[in-house]
Amino acid sequence: MGTRSVYVTKPRELIAGLLHAEPRFFSAAEIHRRLNEAHKVSLSTVYRTLEHLLERGEVAARSDDAGETTYKACEPAHHHHHAICTSCGRVEDVDCSAIEQLAESLRTVHGFALADHKMEFSGICSACR
Amino acid sequence: MGTRSVYVTKPRELIAGLLHAEPRFFSAAEIHRRLNEAHKVSLSTVYRTLEHLLERGEVAARSDDAGETTYKACEPAHHHHHAICTSCGRVEDVDCSAIEQLAESLRTVHGFALADHKMEFSGICSACR
DNA sequence: ATCAGTGCAAACCATTTGCAAATTA
DNA sequence: TAATTTGCAAATGGTTTGCACTGAT
């Protein structure tokens, strides 16, 4: 599959640059605010660019606690975890003791003090198979 | 800590009843639509009741792929799962091979065909400790 | 010279809020 | 009766869209 050709524009370079500069999630408004400290890029362009990057798999998105969508640069579409059936929507509550190992790995490998974690699974539940 | 007293009203009974009837996430609009098939409850009351149930820890909320908030009955606030530092917002990408065990458990215990999973961790990153 | 990309303003839509009327305790 | 809850309609706020203009190829 060939790479779909697109224009290289200043807004795109600026936005991708900002996202790649920090390994964290940014809201569209936050990106817009930051860019406009030194440049002029409309909020709608920020949204359209993010959508563009999302389609290309160059960024990951998630909604924060307030429900606002946030974006983060993310090379290959990487790993991101309730069991929700994609067919009927049924939710299976999953008990996950294996998380303890992940918590340990987080502390060891990332020096991250795990305070809480959230998991979400998607797939086909037993009733839909 | 005493139980904060509140009124027992028809809308609250109806909404809690609907949520407890199915183990899955519902959007406020969906709940409103369903209830109004046989009763009359305003959409704002649905929102206020859900907020009420959320405060009491009787329901869990999550945003679906479209960013719409959805709710599910959930006895004790139960288990739900990127490492996001609650102090600086930094994200640590976490590799999680231990998930394989969870996938196995999902298949065995729930008969759930795991197609995808998403994990999110929160805590304090190494830089903030 | 094309066709994609941008800005602006208007449109959308989920969620929230003010306030008077209805309900529960 | 006193205090909470509801309904309705208007206000919010994030995100999307129509359209004419600008910029990249």
Looking at the DSSP assignment, which residues form a beta bridge with residue B106?
none
How far out from the chain centre does Cα B21 lie?
Answer: 15
Going along chain A from its start, the domains and CATH numbers come out as 10-73 (1.10.10.10), 81-123 (3.30.1490.190)
Per-residue model confidence (pLDDT) at position B34: 94
Cα torsion for A97, A103, A108, A110, to the nearest 10°?
Answer: 150
Per-residue pLDDT tens for B11-32? 999 999 998 887 778 899 999 9
Is B77 a residue whose pLDDT tops 80?
no
Per-residue model confidence (pLDDT) at position B20: 86
- Residue B81 banded pLDDT, cuts 50, 70, 90: very low
Cα torsion for A44, A49, A55, A59, to the nearest 10°?
Answer: -120
- Nearest-angstrom CA–CA distance, B107 and B104: 5
Q: Which of B30, B33, B22 is nearest to B59 (CA)?
A: B22
Q: Which residue is the nearest neighbor of C15, CA to C1'? A: B47
Strand D contact with A119 (CB < 7 A)? no
* A vs B: CB pairs below 8 A: 192
Is A64 a residue whose pLDDT tops 70?
yes
Is A111 a residue whose pLDDT tops 90?
no
Is B120 a residue whose pLDDT tops 50?
yes
Per-residue model confidence (pLDDT) at position B39: 85
Mean pLDDT of B62-79: 73
A121 and chain B in contact, CB less than 8 A: yes
- Nearest-angstrom CA–CA distance, B81 and B108: 20
Residue type at position A44 = S
Per-residue model confidence (pLDDT) at position A98: 58
- Residue A94 banded pLDDT, cuts 50, 70, 90: low
Whether A119 sits inside 8 A of B79 (CB atoms) is: yes
Is A49 a residue whose pLDDT tops 70?
yes
Per-residue model confidence (pLDDT) at position B71: 86
- Which residues from the 60-79 window of protein chain A have CB within 7 angstroms of nucleic acid chain D? 68-69
Per-residue model confidence (pLDDT) at position A74: 75
Is A56 a residue whose pLDDT tops 80?
yes
Per-residue pLDDT tens for A8-37? 999 999 999 998 887 778 899 999 999 998
- Nearest-angstrom CA–CA distance, B6 and B8: 6
For A34-99, the DSSP string reads HHTTTS---HHHHHHHHHHHHHTTSEEEEE-TTS-EEEEE-SS------EEETTT--EE----TTH
Greatest extent of chain B over all pairs of C-alpha atoms, in Å: 55
